[in-house]
Amino acid sequence: MSQLFFALYKLFKAIFHSTQDPEFRGLLMLTVILQISGTFFYAHVENWAYLDALYFCVMTMSTIGYGDLTPTTPLSKIFTIIYSLISIGVFVGVVTKIAHVMIQGKHRHPIKSAKPQ
């Protein structure tokens, strides 16, 4: 259990350090905009509850796609195609930036070895 908390600590630390990068902030803002716009679209076009619409957007963006919710109208199917192509790319960009900071952090603080005498 402590390993989980340590991993979460490292993840949140990497996200915090990533916010100093303007490119990461832009990707993060784009992610939020995509989630909000997708949620409103599906809530109004498909008549889904906002939580269901947000859930669908997150599952689509992260490429999980359980299939429990599916678009039914032609307009929402076209929107989903476009949304998938854009949001998956943005999601990969965000995850790549976070992973880069985590890897960089390991190299920035090398393990101290015993000094030769």
Report the distance separating Cα 88 and Cα 81, nearest Å.
11
Domain that holds residue 29: 2-107
Contact 79, 37 (CB under 8 A): no
Q: Does the pLDDT at position 117 exceed 90?
A: no
In-domain check, residue 113: no
In-domain check, residue 102: yes
In-domain check, residue 40: yes
In-domain check, residue 14: yes
**pTM confidence score:** 0.79
Rounded mean pLDDT of 56-71? 94
| Higher pLDDT among residues 51 and 8, named by residue | 51
In-domain check, residue 22: yes
| Count of domains observed in the chain | 1
Q: Domain with 60 in it: what CATH number?
A: 1.10.287.70
Q: What is the mean pLDDT of the chain?
A: 89
In-domain check, residue 15: yes
Contact 14, 28 (CB under 8 A): no
Q: pLDDT per residue over 77-112, tens digit each?
A: 999 999 999 999 999 999 999 898 888 876 554 445
Report the distance separating Cα 48 and Cα 102, nearest Å.
37
